[in-house]
Chain A
């Protein structure tokens, strides 16, 4: 099962990366854009079982694709992707409340951590912390969560 997840991520992430670098870049709001790969890392790591480690590989994969379409050295975003996946795995048990609240907290923590790491890594270029980026990705994450939940409920009813 983890192997399938990684293979599917490998294919889906590629299209998401192209979509992000070629299409979404035109929809920047105050310097922030929707980063579907980052949101995907958070989703995968939040919803996977405790003993499953494929979320870390998915984090690395998503980072690798971000690397391919960035001007930084290869491995920069790969490392950040793995770090974000690790951070979610660490933070998730600490924020166990109701499912949605827990997800919202983890989503926010993941996005905040990503921005922090990116800011620290690029500190020589000045302060690049972008609040809008967090807001956009947070809203996108919440919307996707509710869509998936609705879809899940509908499918469950249908099969029952």
Chain B
């Protein structure tokens, strides 16, 4: 009856719209917090299922190329046999390094174990299953077991938190190129891409060189791994060199993450 006239109806819908906007503005965090609490286990299950299924389908689609790959592998096999000894030595060295990193990680930082729940479809953000109740707060760095940097906590809910990945558009932090010790600024480009900027023109940045965080002044603890240099550009018109990074962290393959509590 109260919506008998068009005017009353307009007033009603305007009030509803204002009410919804106010809810969205002031109750943003509690609403998200409640939903993540309710659906945490379902999201986690979906993430794990998606991870295993995507690996399966990737293998399935690659099966078409197996025959060609097999022929190529046979040809390469002879050449590779001669390098087998070198590879074995490298494997042992790799294992030793992994052990060293593993030991250092627990001693170096106070960590909280976490798992990914969801990933944003339009930005490089992810939600992990640890929140206020676990002592998580904004600004904390998120890494993997291998000390690879993933991102920073930007919003905390009761049982979950949002992590801005280092590759998100607009992220900037200080890094250092290993071996040559060249300082640079890492910039997120979105879509899991990361570049290095502000590299001195005369600096030597070899392809394949490791890149790690430079220290707290760069926004993260020092020595966290980022990736390897995959491409460099040193245009005359540009005041600095630039480089593209091949990230170590692949969010789709991530099983376990750690939040650095302090």
Contact = CB atoms under 8 A, between A and B. Distances in A.
Interface of A: 14, 18-27, 31, 33, 35, 68-75, 78, 118, 122, 125-126, 128
Interface string B21-55: 10011001001100100010011111101110110
Interface of B: 21, 24-25, 28, 31-32, 35, 39, 42-47, 49-51, 53-54, 57, 117-123, 125, 127, 154-155, 162, 164, 169-170, 190-191, 252
Contact of A25 (B44, B119, B169, B191): B119
22 contacts: A18-B43, A21-B43, A21-B118, A21-B119, A22-B44, A22-B46, A22-B117, A23-B46, A23-B53, A26-B54, A26-B252, A31-B191, A69-B118, A71-B123, A71-B125, A71-B164, A73-B24, A74-B24, A74-B32, A118-B122, A126-B169, A128-B190
A114 to B, nearest CB: 11
A22 B47 contact: yes
Contacts of A20: 121
Contacts of B51: 26
The 4 closest A-B pairs by CB, nearest first: A22-B46, A21-B118, A26-B50, A71-B125
Contacts of B154: 71
Contacts of A68: 31-32, 35
A27 B50 CA distance: 8
A26 B120 contact: no
A19 B46 contact: yes
A70 B121 CA distance: 7
Given A21-B120, A23-B53, A71-B154, 6 more contacts: A22-B47, A26-B252, A27-B50, A74-B25, A126-B169, A128-B190
A18 B170 CA distance: 27
A39 to B, nearest CB: 14
Contacts of B44: 22
Nearest to A34: B121
B35 A25 contact: no
Contacts of B46: 18-19, 21-23
B139 to A, nearest CB: 16
A33 B118 CA distance: 14
